[in-house]
Structure 1
C-alpha cells in the first residue's frame, strides 16, 4: 500500500491488484474501506478479488493475465511491483538432521518459549507472522535468554502494534471485533477524527478510530486507528490493551488538549454518549 501511494504521488499511473475482496483483509473493514477511498482519490486504481494467472513480457513492459470473479481480464504495465509475502530461507540448513520441524511453507515451528528442538531456538521472520522488526528483536532477546539462562519466558503476541505507513496511516493493536466475538460478547464503536479538535486544527480530519470492548467487563480488547500520525498514537493504545484497562480507566485519565491522542479518550467516551455533542475536555 505504501509503495502504491508513493508511486502515485510522484506521477506514476498505478494499478493495484488485490487477491482478497478488500485491501488488508485482516484489518478492520471500516478503516480499510476508508483508506481504499483515500488511495482512489489519489489516482490508485484498486482492483480486488483478483487471481493472477500469468505474466508475459511485451515490447513496452508487462502484460498481466488475471481472473476477477470468473471473468478474464488483462492489465498492461511498464513494471510490476510484486508484493505477495515472504518465504523463509530454511532450505540448505540440513534441518532434517535435527529434530526441528517446519510447516508446509517452510517456517520453523516453535513453542511459546521459541524452542524449535533440543537445544535449538528460533526467532524472527523464519518462524512466520508477525514479520516485524520490533517483534524479531523481542523474539531474539527471549530466545537467547531462554537458551542461555534456562528460562521459559513466553513471547506475548496479544499486544503487538502494527502500522501501515500510508497517508493516512493505519495502526492497530489487540483484537478486531471479529476476533474478539469468537470467544466473548463484545461491543465496538467507531469515532470520526472530525470530532477531534486537534485534527480540525491541523486540517487532518480524515480518519476513524475503532475501539473493541468486552461487553461484561468493559475491558478494552483492541484499538484500531486510521489517521494522520496514527503510528504515534498506537503506543498508548498498546499500553491500554496490555494492562487490561477499562473504559472508565481511559476516561478518567487526563489527556492533553488539544492533541490527536485525545481520539483514544473520545473513543472510550463514545460508549457512554454521543461525542459529537460533548464539549472539549468533557470529562
Structure 2
C-alpha cells in the first residue's frame, strides 16, 4: 500500500502532473485484503503436514529431560528435537509497558488511529512509520539511541531519516521512554531527552524496540541446552553445543541475522543433518541480504565499513548520492544512494549498501556476487536491461 501511494505523491507535483487527486486509503479494506491471503496459511500448512504423514500436537511444550518433552501432560520422547519457536518483543523497562501494543497487534488493527507513537528505531519502527503516515496517521518515532537502524550503513540511514522527516514523520533520536499512561482520550508517553522531560499524546503506542528469541518457557535447562542472549548456542551444524539431540533454527538459534531467508536456510541444514544421521551440512550465511521495506527501501548485504576495517581488510569504497540518476529522477525520488566495498587486489565485493527505488531488488544482484565470488569487474562489464534498477549496478562498482 505504501509504495503506490508514495509513487502517486511524488508524481502529483504541479510541474509533473501525472496525478491531480490522490486517493485516501481505506485501512479496513486493506486489512480485509491482507487477511484473504494470510488467514488460510496456517490451515494449509497443517493440511500439507498431514498429507506428508507429520503428526501435529497443539499445546505448550516444556522439556522434562534430555530426550523428552511434555505437551499438555503428554510426554513425547524422540531422538532429535528442533527448536523453531521464533521471536517475541523484548520486554520494555518502562512503567505502563502493558499498555503498549505489539507489532502483531498493529498488523491486526481493524482501524488505524490518528496519532501513533512508535517506541524504538529499527526495522519495525521505520516500516510502520512509512505505512502509517501514508494511511493518514500522525507518527512519532522515539528512539533511545542516537542512531536509527544500527545494522545499516550510517550514511545511507541518514538519507532515509532525512527523507522520512520530510514526509513529515517526527523522529526523536536520543529519547528514552520512561512511562506510558492511559488518559481520557488515549495515552500519554513520557520520555527523557538529554535531561529534558517530554510528553507525547497518542491514540496508540506501538512496541518497535526489537525482538528476542521466544525460548524462555521451554525449560531448556532440564534438557541441558545452553542458551545466550541471542538464543540457543549451536555449532556450525545448528546442533546444540551442550545436547546433541537438540537443534535450533531461525530466531531461536544464536547464529546469523534474524531474517526469514536465514530461517529457511537453517531448516534445510537441520533436515539434511537429521536425515543423514550425522553432521554433514554446515550453515553458510554468505551473501544473505537484509532490507528495510520503507519508501524508498534500504538494503545491505555483506560487511559494513567498520566490520571490514575490524577484519583488517584492504578495500576501496564506491559511495555516491544518486538522486540525479535517471532511475531516481524518473520517479521523482530524492532519496537515493549507494556504498559498495571492493577488496583491493581480488576485486571481491565485501559489502553493498543501497537506498532508493528498487534497492530491495538490486541488492539481490550483489548478494549473488558475494555468495558466488563474482568480482566487481564482471558486474561492471555485464549489460543489464535499461532502464531498470539493475542497470545502475555497473556504475556502482
TM-score bracket relative to the smaller structure: 0.7 to 0.9
Rounded to whole Å, the distance in 2 between the matches of 1:28 and 1:197 is 23
The answer for the alignment partner of 2:302 in structure 1 is 174
Q: Which of residues 199, 204, 219 is equivalent to 2:328?
A: 199
Rounded to whole Å, the distance in 2 between the matches of 1:194 and 1:47 is 25
Q: Which of residues 320, 342, 347 is equivalent to 1:218?
A: 347
Q: Which of residues 116, 137, 155 is equivalent to 2:264?
A: 137
Partner-residue secondary structure (3-state), 1:147 = helix
Rounded to whole Å, the distance in 1 between the matches of 2:365 and 2:249 is 26
Rounded to whole Å, the distance in 2 between the matches of 1:92 and 1:40 is 40
Rounded to whole Å, the distance in 2 between the matches of 1:31 and 1:225 is 7
Rounded to whole Å, the distance in 1 between the matches of 2:387 and 2:308 is 32
| TM norm structure 1 | 0.88
TM-superposed CA distance for 1:202, in Å, is 3.7
The answer for the alignment partner of 1:74 in structure 2 is 199
TM-superposed CA distance for 1:72, in Å, is 2.5
Change (3 A) 1:258 1:123: same
Change (3 A) 1:12 1:87: same
Asked if the contact 1:209–1:263 (Cα under 8 Å) also holds between the matched residues in 2, the reply is no
Q: In structure 1, list runs of 5 or more residues that go unmatched.
A: 269-283
Rounded to whole Å, the distance in 1 between the matches of 2:211 and 2:335 is 32
The answer for the alignment partner of 1:146 in structure 2 is 273
Change (3 A) 1:74 1:204: closer
The answer for the alignment partner of 1:276 in structure 2 is none
- How many aligned residue pairs are there? 267
Asked if the contact 1:194–1:200 (Cα under 8 Å) also holds between the matched residues in 2, the reply is yes
Q: Which has the larger radius of gyration?
A: 2
The answer for the alignment partner of 2:177 in structure 1 is 52
The answer for the alignment partner of 2:385 in structure 1 is 256
The answer for the alignment partner of 1:89 in structure 2 is 214
Partner-residue secondary structure (3-state), 1:257 = coil
In the alignment, structure 1 residue 12 sits paired with structure 2 residue 12: no
TM-superposed CA distance for 1:5, in Å, is 1.2
Q: Which of residues 223, 227, 237 is equivalent to 1:113?
A: 237
Q: Which of residues 246, 259, 263 is equivalent to 2:375?
A: 246
Change (3 A) 1:142 1:40: same
Asked if the contact 1:199–1:260 (Cα under 8 Å) also holds between the matched residues in 2, the reply is no
1:181-232 CA distance string (max 9 Å, x none)? 1112322121333454343334345311110112343311111110112111
Partner-residue secondary structure (3-state), 2:232 = coil
Q: Which of residues 284, 291, 298 is equivalent to 1:156?
A: 284
Rounded to whole Å, the distance in 2 between the matches of 1:240 and 1:208 is 19
Rounded to whole Å, the distance in 1 between the matches of 2:147 and 2:217 is 37
Partner-residue secondary structure (3-state), 1:261 = helix
Asked if the contact 1:209–1:264 (Cα under 8 Å) also holds between the matched residues in 2, the reply is no
Rounded to whole Å, the distance in 2 between the matches of 1:162 and 1:170 is 9
| TM norm structure 2 | 0.64
Rounded to whole Å, the distance in 1 between the matches of 2:162 and 2:391 is 25
In the alignment, structure 1 residue 228 sits paired with structure 2 residue 357: yes
The answer for the alignment partner of 2:187 in structure 1 is 62
Partner-residue secondary structure (3-state), 1:168 = coil
Could you say which structure has the greater relative contact order, defined with CA pairs below 8 angstroms and 6 or more residues apart?
2
TM-superposed CA distance for 1:133, in Å, is 1.7
The alignment yields a C-alpha RMSD, in angstroms, of 1.8
Rounded to whole Å, the distance in 1 between the matches of 2:208 and 2:165 is 19
Rounded to whole Å, the distance in 1 between the matches of 2:216 and 2:327 is 51
The answer for the alignment partner of 2:160 in structure 1 is 35
